[in-house]
Structure 1
Amino acid sequence: MTIDFNDIEEKIKPHFKGGEKEYRVRTYLDNENRIMRGVLKPGASIGYHKHELNSEVMYIISGKGHVLYDQGEEDVVAGQVTYCPKGHSHSLVNNGDEDLVFLGIVGEHHD
């Protein structure tokens, strides 16, 4: 199966999860996964939130950012992957001068 994000309507989510500015996202959704192509403009962020029933993998396509997680933080650049396991918290901030583009995959857990 191929997902073409160019065929999926872009949604604009202001202050997503309490973040700064807006999050632009194209989302494919089924019963098991949410697969997203996200864009954060410079200074935009996804607010700090907990993954209670799922986990998230974010692959940085272009740009650079800063990830906050549980009690840590680190910078990320294109080609790197972040992982937030079920039961943990994270945030993504575009602290660069260009768009931060990433692929996010949220997998549901059925315990």
Structure 2
Amino acid sequence: MPVIKKGQYPVRYIEHMKGGQGRFEIEDILQTDEMHEKGRLFAIGTLEPGHSVGYHVHEEDMEICFFLEGEGIVQEQDGTEIKIGPGDTNIVDVGQGHMITNTGKTSLKYLAVIIYA
């Protein structure tokens, strides 16, 4: 089993992710084909202050976001906004939606896992 060292993960950037503000950085821990058809994302996501991942619904999968660093807000499907920080988890089940915004003064980093229902 290989060991991938910090700094060796492929990094990609998406502008205005899901209609959000600014840029979303994704460090792919696993590639989609390495997830054996069980999911499509296992990565560390980073949002700079004021940047966001726009509101979106998970139609055929679910997402777990475990926050590692920074401060932000998760907007849930009903419009409720919840402050989040290190150690918090946002679980978005099939058919539910969410939006993530960095409201802090430093990077908001989280482990994002998307698995198929």
TM-score, reference length from structure 2: 0.87
Query: Aligned ranges for residues 71-86 of structure 1 at < 5 Å?
Result: 71=78, 72-86=80-94
Q: What percent of counterpart residues are identical?
A: 26
1:96 alignment counterpart: 104
Cα drift, residue 5 of structure 1: 5.7
1:6 alignment counterpart: 7
Cα drift, residue 6 of structure 1: 2.7
Residue by residue over 1:19-57, the C-alpha shift from the partner in whole angstroms, topping out at 9 and shown as x without a partner, is 000000012222212201010000000000000000001
Partner secondary structure for residue 17 of structure 1 = helix
CA root-mean-square deviation: 1.4
Amino acid at match of 1:62: E
2:16 alignment counterpart: 15
Aligned residues: 109
CA distance 1:96–1:106, shift in 2 (3 Å): same
Unaligned runs of 5+ in 2: none
Cα drift, residue 8 of structure 1: 1.7
Amino acid at match of 1:94: N
Unaligned runs of 5+ in 1: none
Partner secondary structure for residue 105 of structure 1 = strand
Cα drift, residue 3 of structure 1: 5.9
